[in-house]
């Protein structure tokens, strides 16, 4: 019953989205508000309909309905309830339904807003959001059906929604279980965060295209979609950070970012979205870069679809990707159609989007923001080329050439360094005209303060390689500028309103949430950069096979192999767990328990590292293998990762900055 209800609801939702598109087009062409309102109501209906499908899938998983192919693929009898629920997005078909459900929720929320002043945009927003939703539902209904069943016939077991001729239902005794690599808290939260970021990007794109179609020359679409853009960006950021944490904890290679194609596909829309958030401020303040902002919002939308295509098409090999599927060409066609149509529309309205002002100074804030955008685009082009080059090489030569991390690191490092420097310089610049002298008068104090990082680097002995000095100075410079901005604003309020320091600081931040929230976000980013510098420039590692009682040495650390335990659990795992002692300069500082978990249902090992973490460094231990005969000789790989914890500290600071930025005001601002 749940199966039929779920599939029926999914199919009806697909038809409803098609109706919404048709009704909106008809209503717009005939200037009939009743048809447009009908299309709006249809969009509101998609969310509850898809909720029925989502509940049906979860019910089928929780009740172990293994005759359903999706359930047999992602669940098993031994899986706990919380993992069975997260199995909703554990594979291709379910994740597509989840993606559509989130988009339906966002589209419904947009439909509920007041449209009095933007009534002309409404039908086009409906057409674009409903059209995108219809595409994903089309994939589910006809290609990746989460309700398809298993059937036994003389030809073997087949997958179909309806019974093939001569076939009988096939019900496995147990399912394969969720991929063990996905049974990690980071991967429970990471996909929803990533999907929320992806679907949020569709809303500002819909408003931008509606503004182009209607020929409106104002900037209302920016103000309407601002919070959607911010939410999209923060969820994209959160998805990236959670994905990095998952890689660091689960993949067992001592790092957080491997320039994997699917990792990069999530990074690409973040790059264009970040560039857009910076350049759109120039459009708001100075009426400039209107054409460029449209390009960025179009790229962000299509890079979201492109990233989804890479994950689901099977064209690239990745630990993050789903299996090969027939939906790849459909994604490619949809990307080509939307990109061509969007750029064609933009060219048609190009002259209507001319800037009201021109750049007057290379040192003005708008010029520095433009340079910031160009650097982001440099990282984008480099990353995009690295992703598609294997596809191009295979198409041309028949051989797939892999582009490895060294290419990305060498190509993007100078660009990322430039972005770091601009993060410090741009806040001290002014709008309009500015010279290097006026900028210099603002910058010299934090610049001098940042120079203090250099003797600290030499004192700590972390000045090799030489460019580490430059990297640490940049971190110090951005921190100094951020602190300086808070200090100057607070002191100004203290003098003007006779407030004490903490009251002045609080009112400053709450009065100018967007500005100072952005500074806190910058601070979070630069703290994350500190972690990146530490692990990229100073990580060391070694590997060895030792017996119980022996040890491995790495830098100032010594790891002793103390014991081994092998046991079954009550959740379908066979665990091999080592006990190792960690000594720093001959003093015991920790005891770790690296292990290897074998999952019976998936027939797969997962490595769980042991980590001793401080703000200064992290000692990271992997149990690579155990001699099956002696059960006393083990192979370990150990890493020493300086400063890596600042990656995760910076991400929390980043979240605080975002909360400050979007927190609603209780009442209109007064003069204070």
Query: Per residue in 338-363, is it b (16+ CB within 10 Å) or e — as a string?
Result: bbeebeebbeebeeebebeeebebeb
pLDDT higher than 90, residue 611? yes
Once rounded to an integer, what is the mean pLDDT over residues 206-232?
90
Q: What is the pLDDT of residue 503?
A: 93
The Cα-based distances of 643 to 247, 375, 527, 539 in angstroms read 17, 26, 10, 10
pLDDT higher than 90, residue 135? yes
Q: What is the pLDDT of residue 555?
A: 92
% of the chain residues with pLDDT over 90? 61
Coil vs helix vs strand at 510: helix
Once rounded to an integer, what is the mean pLDDT over residues 215-220?
86
Q: What is the pLDDT of residue 438?
A: 83
Q: Count other Cβ atoms within 10 Å, centred on residue 89.
A: 22
528-569 confidence digits (pLDDT tens): 999 999 999 999 999 999 999 999 999 999 999 999 999 998
Pull the structure tokens for residue 121: 């945009």
Once rounded to an integer, what is the mean pLDDT over residues 430-448?
85
54-65 confidence digits (pLDDT tens): 999 999 999 999
pLDDT higher than 70, residue 325? no
- Residues 145 and 657: their CA atoms lie apart, in Å, by 41
* Among the ranges given (147-161, 225-239, 306-320, 571-585), the one the predictor scored with the smallest mean pLDDT: 306-320
pLDDT higher than 90, residue 612? yes
Query: Per residue in 368-379, is it b (16+ CB within 10 Å) or e — as a string?
Result: bbbbbbebbbbb
Q: Show Cβ contacts of residue 127 under 8 Å, excluding neighbours closer than 6 positions.
A: 20, 21, 24, 25
> What is the 3-class SS of 614-662, one letter each residue?
CCCEEEEEEEEEECCCCCCEEEEEEEEEECCHHHHHHHHHHHHHHHHHH
- Residues 424 and 439: their CA atoms lie apart, in Å, by 12
Based on its alpha-carbon atoms, the radius of gyration of the chain, rounded to whole angstroms, reads: 27
pLDDT higher than 50, residue 441? yes
Whether the CB-CB separation of 561 and 546 falls below 8 Å is answered with yes
Once rounded to an integer, what is the mean pLDDT over residues 595-608?
88
Query: Per residue in 611-628, is it b (16+ CB within 10 Å) or e — as a string?
Result: bbeeeebbbbbbbeebee
Once rounded to an integer, what is the mean pLDDT over residues 472-498?
93
Q: What is the pLDDT of residue 669?
A: 45
What is the biggest distance separating any 2 CA atoms in the chain, rounded to whole angstroms? 88
Once rounded to an integer, what is the mean pLDDT over residues 292-311?
90
Coil vs helix vs strand at 571: coil
Q: How confident is the model at residue 313 (pLDDT cuts 50, 70, 90)?
A: low
Q: Show Cβ contacts of residue 263 under 8 Å, excluding neighbours closer than 6 positions.
A: 243, 247, 257, 318, 320
- Residues 311 and 302: their CA atoms lie apart, in Å, by 14
DSSP state, residue 600:
T
630-643 confidence digits (pLDDT tens): 888 999 999 999 99
* Among the ranges given (389-393, 581-585, 644-648), the one the predictor scored with the smallest mean pLDDT: 389-393
Q: Please report the DSSP string for 604-617 in residue order.
A: EEEEE-EEEE-SSE
47-96 confidence digits (pLDDT tens): 999 999 999 999 999 999 999 999 999 999 888 888 899 899 888 899 99
State the average pLDDT for the chain.
89
Once rounded to an integer, what is the mean pLDDT over residues 649-671?
77
- Residues 294 and 126: their CA atoms lie apart, in Å, by 19
Q: Which of 213, 225, 195, 424 shows the shortest CA–CA distance to 304?
A: 195
User: According to the per-residue pLDDT averaged within each range, which of 176-180, 286-290, 336-340 is highest?
Assistant: 336-340
% of the chain residues with pLDDT over 70? 97
Once rounded to an integer, what is the mean pLDDT over residues 388-402?
80
Q: Show Cβ contacts of residue 438 under 8 Å, excluding neighbours closer than 6 positions.
A: 363, 430
Pull the structure tokens for residue 188: 């429970």
Q: Please report the DSSP string for 104-164 in residue order.
A: HHHHHHHHTS--TT-TTTHHHHHHHHHHHHHHHHHHHHHT--TT-EEEEETTEEEEESSPP
Q: Which residue has the higher pLDDT, 671 or 24?
A: 24
Q: Which of 575, 572, 552 shows the shortest CA–CA distance to 562?
A: 552
Q: How confident is the model at residue 459 (pLDDT cuts 50, 70, 90)?
A: confident
Q: What is the pLDDT of residue 490?
A: 94
pLDDT higher than 70, residue 349? yes
pLDDT higher than 60, residue 317? no
Q: Which of 136, 134, 170 shows the shortest CA–CA distance to 153?
A: 170
Query: Per residue in 490-511, is it b (16+ CB within 10 Å) or e — as a string?
Result: beebbeeeebeeeebbebbbee
Q: How confident is the model at residue 361 (pLDDT cuts 50, 70, 90)?
A: confident
DSSP state, residue 574:
E
What's the pTM? 0.91
Q: Cis ω on the peptide bond leading into residue 364 (within 30° of 0)?
A: no
pLDDT higher than 60, residue 671? no
Q: How confident is the model at residue 471 (pLDDT cuts 50, 70, 90)?
A: very high
The residues facing 577 across adjacent strands are: 565, 595
Q: Show Cβ contacts of residue 75 under 8 Å, excluding neighbours closer than 6 positions.
A: 61, 64, 66, 84, 87, 175, 177, 178
Q: What is the pLDDT of residue 666?
A: 62
Coil vs helix vs strand at 573: strand
Pull the structure tokens for residue 24: 């909106």
């Amino acid at each position: 019953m749940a199966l039929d209800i779920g599939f029926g609801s999914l199919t009806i939702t697909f038809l409803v989205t098609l109706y919404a598109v048709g009704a909106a087009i008809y209503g717009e062409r005939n200037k009939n508000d009743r048809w447009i309102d009908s299309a709006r109501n249809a969009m509101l209906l998609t969310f509850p309909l898809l909720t029925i499908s989502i509940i049906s899938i979860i019910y089928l998983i929780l009740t172990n309905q293994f005759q359903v192919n999706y359930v047999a693929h992602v669940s098993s009898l031994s899986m706990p309830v919380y993992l069975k629920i997260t199995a909703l997005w554990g594979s291709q078909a379910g994740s597509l339904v989840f993606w559509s459900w989130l988009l339906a929720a966002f589209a419904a929320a947009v439909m509920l807003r007041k449209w009095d002043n933007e009534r002309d945009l409404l039908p086009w927003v409906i057409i674009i959001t409903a059209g995108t939703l219809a595409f994903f539902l089309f994939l589910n209904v006809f290609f990746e059906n989460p309700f398809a069943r298993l059937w036994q016939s003389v030809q073997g077991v087949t997958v179909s929604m309806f019974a093939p001729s001569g076939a009988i239902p096939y019900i496995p005794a147990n399912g394969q279980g969720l991929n063990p690599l996905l049974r990690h808290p980071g991967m429970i939260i990471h996909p929803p965060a990533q999907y929320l970021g992806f679907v949020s990007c569709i809303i500002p794109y819909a408003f931008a295209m509606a503004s182009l179609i209607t020929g409106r020359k104002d900037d209302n679409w920016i103000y309407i979609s601002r919070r959607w853009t911010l939410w999209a960006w923060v969820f994209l950021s959160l998805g990236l950070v959670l994905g990095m944490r998952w890689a660091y904890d689960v993949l067992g290679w001592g790092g957080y970012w491997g320039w994997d194609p699917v990792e990069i596909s999530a990074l690409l829309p973040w790059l264009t979205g970040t560039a857009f958030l910076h350049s759109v401020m120039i459009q708001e303040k100075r009426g400039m870069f209107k054409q460029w902002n449209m390009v960025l919002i179009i790229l962000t939308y299509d890079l979201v679809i492109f990233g989804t295509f890479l994950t689901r098409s099977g064209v690239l090999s990745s630990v993050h990707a789903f299996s090969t599927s027939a939906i790849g060409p459909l994604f490619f066609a949809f990307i080509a159609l939307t990109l061509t149509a969007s750029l064609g529309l933009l060219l048609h309205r190009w002259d209507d989007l001319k800037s009201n002002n021109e750049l007057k100074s290379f040192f003005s804030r708008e010029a520095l923001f433009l340079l910031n955008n160009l650097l982001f685009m440099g990282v984008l082009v480099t990353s995009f080329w690295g992703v598609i080059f294997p596809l191009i090489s295979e198409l041309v030569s028949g051989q797939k050439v892999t582009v490895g991390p060294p290419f990305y690191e060498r190509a993007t490092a100078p660009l990322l360094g430039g972005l770091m420097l601009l993060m410090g310089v741009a806040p001290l610049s002014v709008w309009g005209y500015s010279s290097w002298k006026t900028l210099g008068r603002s910058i010299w104090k934090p610049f001098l303060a940042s120079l203090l990082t250099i003797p600290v680097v030499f004192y700590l002995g972390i000045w090799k390689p030489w460019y580490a000095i430059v990297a640490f100075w940049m971190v110090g410079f951005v921190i100094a500028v951020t602190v300086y901005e808070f200090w100057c604003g607070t002191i100004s309020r203290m003098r003007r309103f006779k407030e004490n320091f903490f009251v002045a600081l609080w009112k400053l931040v709450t009065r100018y949430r967007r500005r100072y929230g952005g500074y806190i976000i910058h601070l979070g980013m630069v703290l994350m950069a500190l972690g990146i510098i530490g692990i990229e420039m100073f990580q060391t590692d070694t590997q060895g096979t030792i017996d119980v009682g022996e040890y491995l040495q790495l830098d100032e650390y010594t790891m002793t192999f103390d014991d081994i335990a092998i046991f079954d659990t009550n959740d379908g795992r066979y665990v091999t767990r080592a006990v190792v002692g960690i000594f720093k300069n001959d003093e015991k500082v920790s005891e770790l328990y690296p292990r290897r978990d074998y999952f019976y249902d998936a027939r797969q090992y997962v490595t769980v590292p042991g980590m001793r973490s401080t703000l200064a460094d992290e000692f990271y231990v992997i149990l690579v293998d155990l001699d099956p005969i002696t059960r006393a000789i083990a192979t370990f790989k150990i890493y020493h990762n300086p400063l890596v914890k600042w990656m995760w500290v910076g991400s929390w600071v980043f979240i605080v900055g975002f909360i400050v930025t979007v927190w609603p005001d209780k009442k209109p601002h007064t003069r204070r």
